[in-house]
Structure 1
Amino acid sequence: MDKTEHALRIVIADDEPIAKMDLRELLEDSGYEVVGEASDGFDAVEECRKNKPDLVLLDIKMPFLDGLSASKIIFQEKLADTIILLTAYTDPEFIESAKDCGVSGYLVKPYYEKSLIPSIELAVSRSREMKKIRAEVERAQERLESRVIIEKAKGLIMLRDQKNEEEAYSYIRQISQQKHLSMRRVSEMILVRSI
């Protein structure tokens, strides 16, 4: 890892204390920052809520809440950018389940530094790319929704006030500027008022 970059902040979740200690040591020796540890899935979720790590490494089989269930919560609540499962299980059903839980990597124990570190770097890089794509999609959806709401309000003004399309649009824009509100917000208020 390039030392000039900010160190990845990591949460480790494993119910085996020795495995957790070894992993922490390996990660810290590689320049990463371990910001939290957990022994079960519930604590892993809470550590992620508290620390907002770049990466969470989870064992699948843990008491109370397994790693797959914890992964799903962490992914849905956006508590960590990247999730990697570390497990001794290679059963196809675990791998299939992992795909549905927002997991970016699946490493089989015993893992070695030579394979762990490149896998972490690759998974984090891919997760960051996906996060950017998701953000772009959300922005595009928001723009489209805003456009639909503004068009509805514009149509209502045209009908109600006998204005042409340009006048209706100018009316919404004028209120937006005067009230320091987005055109979408002004349009929403116009539409609510008409109900």
Structure 2
Amino acid sequence: MKSTAGRPELTDTQPAKRLRVLIADDEPIIRLDLRKMLEDLGYDVVAEAGDGMKALEAARTLEPDVAILDIKMPQMDGIDAAKLITEEKIAPVLLLTAYSQVDLVCRAKEAGVFSYLVKPFKEADLVPAIEIAMSRWQEFLELEKQARDLEDKLETRKSVDRAKGILMDQYGLKEQEAFRRIQVQSMNTRKSMREIAEAIIIAHNI
């Protein structure tokens, strides 16, 4: 049995999984303090950046589980970087700010920021803020998936309806018979009904 001497014990505030975190702030001392807090809590800081552009590049390259960005940074501010990170569906963004102006809060919401902390903050504030960001991110991804699935179902239905009409006209089939023919072809070829329907439509248009 291996000795556990010298190993830090997990506490109630430490995450069950070592989440990979990107941090960005133009002040090195803030990044140093933030890194120490995160590592003490059991997180894995995979990259640091001193401006928004480098933060975006690091996010694209490393695909962290969460990005913690300061608002006021050179090259590109944290809100603009957060907008691109969110649009590209890389990771949830937790924003650090010493500001509480309404316009910044509105910009942050529009950019898709999922959580934020007002400076100065304590180590104990980090875990709840990160958990909120992660939870909202999962909800966002699920809604995106549902929207894509719904769109795909609508497109599939339109294609199948059109293909059924073609088969009914060409072969004098009833609607249910035409649908069954598409369904059987889908199973036999291991292709989706949408693919079969679109093939019928293309063949009809040649």
**What TM-score, normalized to structure 1?**
0.90
Q: Is the 8 A contact 2:95 2:116 kept in 1?
A: yes
Q: 1:20 to 1:136 in 2, by over 3 A?
A: same
| 3-state SS, counterpart of residue 194 of structure 1 | helix
| 3-state SS, counterpart of residue 168 of structure 1 | helix
Question: Quick check: 1:87 aligned with 2:97?
Answer: yes
What percent of counterpart residues are identical? Answer: 42
Q: Which residue of 2 aligns with 1:26?
A: 37
Out of 123, 138, 141, the position equivalent to 2:151 is 141
| 3-state SS, counterpart of residue 53 of structure 1 | coil
Structure 1 residue 118, shift from structure 2 partner: 1.7
CA deviation profile, 1:158-195 (whole Å, cap 9, x unmatched): 12332111221122123223322111111122223333
Out of 53, 60, 64, the position equivalent to 2:71 is 60
CA deviation profile, 1:51-76 (whole Å, cap 9, x unmatched): 22111011111111111111111111
Separation in 2, partners of 1:4, 1:77: 26
Structure 1 residue 3, shift from structure 2 partner: 5.6
Separation in 2, partners of 1:177, 1:2: 51
**What TM-score, normalized to structure 2?**
0.86
Q: Is the 8 A contact 2:98 2:118 kept in 1?
A: yes
Separation in 2, partners of 1:2, 1:185: 50
Separation in 1, partners of 2:26, 2:89: 23
Structure 1 residue 134, shift from structure 2 partner: 2.8
Q: Which residue of 1 aligns with 2:62?
A: 51
Moved more, 93-102 or 132-141: 132-141
| 3-state SS, counterpart of residue 74 of structure 2 | coil
Separation in 2, partners of 1:178, 1:3: 51
Question: Quick check: 1:193 aligned with 2:203?
Answer: yes
Corresponding residue pairs, total: 194
Q: 1:71 to 1:4 in 2, by over 3 A?
A: closer
Q: 1:2 to 1:171 in 2, by over 3 A?
A: farther
AA of the residue aligned to 2:39: E
Question: Quick check: 1:37 aligned with 2:28?
Answer: no
